[in-house]
Homo-oligomer: A and B are copies of this chain.
Amino acid sequence: MAYPIITISREFGSGGHSIGEKVAEALGVPFYDSKIVTDVVKASGFDADYISDKGEYLSAGSRWFSGLIPNEMYTESPQTKIFNMQCDVILKAAEKGPCVIVGRCADYVLSDNEKYRTLNVFIRADKEHRMERALERYENSNVSIEKRLQQKDKERKNYYSYYTNRTWGDINNYQLCLDSGYLGEEKCVEIIVDAAKAHDK
């Protein structure tokens, strides 16, 4: 018997990270987020802060590299190297068994191989709920919360579409899309845990 691997994509400020942590705790399975992925990847020599900054966001540089340099001269950008290392970490985590993975295109990374049974979840919320939540975390920031929300979502969207050729938040890629502002964090956790238990095979 084994639960599916749960991947969680989330809008900034939607509480998706916290929901993922609680789901992992409820099911008693490992939880992988940016920090854990970062820990493994930094062993490769990249600076931890650099990875934290670039590991889910895309700079203009990586587009430039891939778009303008002919294939035979192509040098893998640091960001693409990081992406590929993250893929390895995700695949190794999946090999070990059921877990919860937040972000990092995990839904896409695991979609190529049918042996990984996944439950792909997208967590969103309306702007008001997300701003309220983000304010609690970034109340001393000089950047407007609304701009930060827009910027982070845009970066995640670009990063996801660049590496996956899919659209971030496309309803067809998820088995569950939940509005955490409407449902509340606890209800989201409950729905995901229930769905995972129903697929305990």
Contacts and interface: CB of A to CB of B under 8 A. Distances in A.
Contact of A174 (B170, B172, B179, B184): B179
Interface string A154-187: 0000000000000001111011111100111001
A191 interface: yes
Contacts of A182: 119, 175, 195, 199
A12 interface: no
B183 A179 contact: no
A169 to B, nearest CB: 5
Contacts of A1: none
A194 interface: yes
Interface of A is mostly: mixed
A199 B182 CA distance: 9
Contacts of A199: 182
B177 A183 contact: no
B177 A187 contact: no
Contact of A195 (B122, B174, B176, B183): B183
Interface residues of A, number: 22
A124 interface: yes
Contact of A179 (B175, B179, B194, B198): B175
Interface string A66-110: 000000000000000000000000000000000000000000000
Contacts of A169: 171-172
A28 to B, nearest CB: 21
A187 B179 CA distance: 17
Contacts of A171: 122, 124, 169-171, 177
Interface of A: 119, 122, 124, 169-172, 174-179, 182-184, 187, 191, 194-195, 198-199
